[in-house]
Amino acid sequence: MTTLPPEHILAHPVALSTLRKGDTAIVIGVRDDHLDVGDEVRSTLAQRLLELGFIPGESLEVVGAIWPGTDPIAVRLGRSMFALRQREAAAIMVTRASNIHP
């Protein structure tokens, strides 16, 4: 097994919402779908996600999910843990950690 080149990683972006409990991944980026986060707002979902630390290169782990289905999920990002619904998780593009450390 060899380490895959970065191009290959970027060729396999998946949404965080497709991950299962126990999966680890690296953030590639957030999709700006202009979802308003609150009322008083100008902040979009993408911006708030970036502010919370979902920035390219950070590693994360899905540590919990409410079943049936997986909504919401709990994601560990460094020392933080966040609860996200499928819709928010779908805005975060990641690559599975297994793509990087085979």
Partner 1 sequence: MSTQTLASELRLALVGVPNSGKTALFNRLTGSHQKVANYAGVTVERKEGRFTGASGRAYRILDLPGTYSLTPTSLDEAITRDAVLGRLAGERPPEIVVCVVDATNLRLNLRLVLELKRIGVPMVVALNMSDVARARGFRLDAQALEREVGVPVIETVAVAAGGAHGLIDSLERRDLPPAPQAHPDYRDPTPEEVLETQRDARRILGIIGYREPARQRALQRLDAVVMHPVLGLAVLAALLFAIFQAVFSWAALPMELIDTAVSGIGNFLHSALPPGPLRSLLVDGIIAGAGSVLVFLPQILILFLFILALEESGYLPRAAYLLDRVMGSVGLSGRAFIPLLSSFACAIPGIMATRTIPNLRDRMATIMIAPLMTCSARLPVYALLIGAFIPASKVGPFNRQGLVLFALYVAGVVAALLVAVVMKRTALKTSYHPLLLELPEYHWPNPRNLAIGLWERARIFIRRVGTIILAMMVLLWFLGSYPAAPAGATMPDIYYSFAGMLGRALEVVLAPIGFNWQISIALVPGLAAREVAVGALGTVYSLAASDESMAATLTPMIAGTWSLATALSLLAWYVFAPQCLSTLIVVRRETASWRYPLAMAGYLFGLAYLGAFATYRIALALGA
Contacting residues toward partner 1, per CB under 8 A: 32, 35-53, 55, 63-67, 71-72, 74, 78-85, 87-88
Residue 57, Ramachandran bin (φ over 0: left; ψ between -120 and 50: alpha; else beta): left
Nearer of residues 50 and 100 to partner 1, judged by Cβ: 50
**Burial zone of 25 (CB within 10 Å; 0-12 exposed, 13-18 middle, 19+ buried):** buried
Q: Minimum CB separation from partner 1 for residue 1, in Å?
A: 25
Strands (E), the chain: 14-15, 24-30, 59-65, 73-77, 80-84, 92-96
Q: Minimum CB separation from partner 1 for residue 49, in Å?
A: 8
Nearer of residues 3 and 43 to partner 1, judged by Cβ: 43
Nearer of residues 25 and 45 to partner 1, judged by Cβ: 45
